[in-house]
């Protein structure tokens, strides 16, 4: 199947990301995949948690700002998914009874918005120095009528597809710990799935294919995310030194 922009089915759109773009925020980042672009800002940890939150753990609050208009059910759902996803990658016992706010501003939506926002929020968390267990990388897989899978669709492609899945994986951890400790049962940790959201109907096999394809591509994404983090931190170190 031909894609309008000439990409191969597994090819992602060009990625770009900047850190510390906002002056007042404790951490911020932009993340863009092709024309989809999101800015995320992190404030916190601030003292105290909201009602109904466990004060023995750090809590996370997500505020989603759409490009135009008021927030609706869709944005509320995104907020909840983003919140749960970020909570699962944070080490929440380090700053108990605090709240960290994440503000996600959509700059432009050209498909795969939620994965882009998750990647942006994750980069902003790193920028703010929030302790994390590992990073999360998100990807959108979509399935066509004929069972053909393409990754990172644009808005135009999304409309033509019968179903899509937003998948979030942990990135491959570079660690001094022995290999064994990063395994859950027989499988390496990076094979696990943090978040999955699907829309449209597909067969279970199609979904499992999506899982595999997504997993293979996240290696590229997580390498990009890591590269993007590294140069800045070394330059900071050299300044400090």
Partner 1 sequence: MGLPNASDDLSSEMEVDAFRRLFPLRFFERHLAESIRPDGRPLGKARDTSVFLGAVASANGSALAKIGSTTMLTAIKMEVMTPSLESPDEGCIAIDFHMPPICSPIVRPGRPAEAAPVISKQLFDTISSSGLVNLKELSLVNGKAAWMAYLDVYCLDADGALFDAALLSAVSALSHLQIPAVAINDDGKIVLMSEEDGQKQAQEQVNKEKRKLTLKSIPFSLTCILHKNYILADPTAEEESIMETLVTIVLDSSGQLISLYKPGGSVLAHTSALQDCVALTRQRVKELKSILDEQNSVMEIEQD
CB of 11 or CB of 196, closer to partner 1? 196
User: Minimal CA–CA distance to 106: which of 69, 148, 143?
Assistant: 69
Tell me which residue has tokens 């993340």: 31
User: Minimal CA–CA distance to 125: which of 172, 88, 73, 177?
Assistant: 88
Q: What are phi and psi of 218, to 5 degrees?
A: -65, -20
**17 touches partner 1 by CB under 8 A:** no
Q: How far apart are CA 183 and CA 158, in angstroms?
A: 35
**70 touches partner 1 by CB under 8 A:** no
Q: Which of 15, 63, 132, 197 binds partner 1 (CB under 8 A)?
A: 197
Is the Cβ–Cβ distance between 169 and 190 less than 8 Å? Answer: yes
Q: Which of 18, 107, 189, 219 binds partner 1 (CB under 8 A)?
A: 189
CB of 35 or CB of 158, closer to partner 1? 158
Is the Cβ–Cβ distance between 86 and 101 less than 8 Å? Answer: no
**27 touches partner 1 by CB under 8 A:** no
**177 touches partner 1 by CB under 8 A:** no
Q: Which of 12, 132, 182, 211 binds partner 1 (CB under 8 A)?
A: 211
**Footprint of partner 1 on this chain (CB under 8 A)?**
52, 73-74, 76-77, 80-81, 83-88, 163, 165, 168, 170, 184-185, 187, 189, 191-204, 206-208, 211
């Amino acid at each position: 199947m031909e894609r309008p922009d000439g990409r191969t089915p597994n090819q992602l759109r060009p990625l770009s990301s900047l850190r510390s773009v906002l002056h007042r925020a404790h951490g911020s980042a932009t993340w863009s995949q092709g024309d989809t672009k999101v800015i995320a800002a992190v404030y916190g940890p601030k003292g105290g948690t909201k009602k109904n939150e466990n004060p023995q753990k750090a809590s996370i609050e997500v505020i989603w700002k759409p490009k135009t208009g008021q927030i609706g059910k869709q944005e509320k759902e995104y907020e909840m998914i983003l919140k749960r996803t970020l909570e699962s990658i944070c080490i929440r016992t380090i700053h108990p009874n605090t709240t960290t706010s994440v503000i996600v501003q959509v700059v432009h939506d050209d498909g795969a918005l939620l994965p882009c926002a998750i990647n942006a929020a994750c980069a902003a968390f790193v920028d703010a120095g929030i302790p994390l267990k590992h990073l999360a990388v998100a990807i959108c897989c979509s399935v066509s009528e004929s069972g053909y899978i393409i990754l990172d669709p644009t808005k135009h492609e999304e409309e033509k597809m019968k179903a899509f899945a937003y998948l979030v994986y942990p990135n491959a951890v570079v660690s001094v710990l022995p290999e064994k400790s990063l395994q859950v049962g027989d499988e390496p940790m990076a094979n696990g799935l943090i978040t999955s959201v699907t829309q449209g109907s597909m067969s279970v096999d199609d979904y499992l294919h999506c899982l595999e394809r997504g997993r293979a591509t996240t290696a590229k994404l997580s390498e990009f995310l890591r590269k993007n983090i590294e140069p800045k931190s070394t330059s900071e170190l050299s300044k400090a030194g």
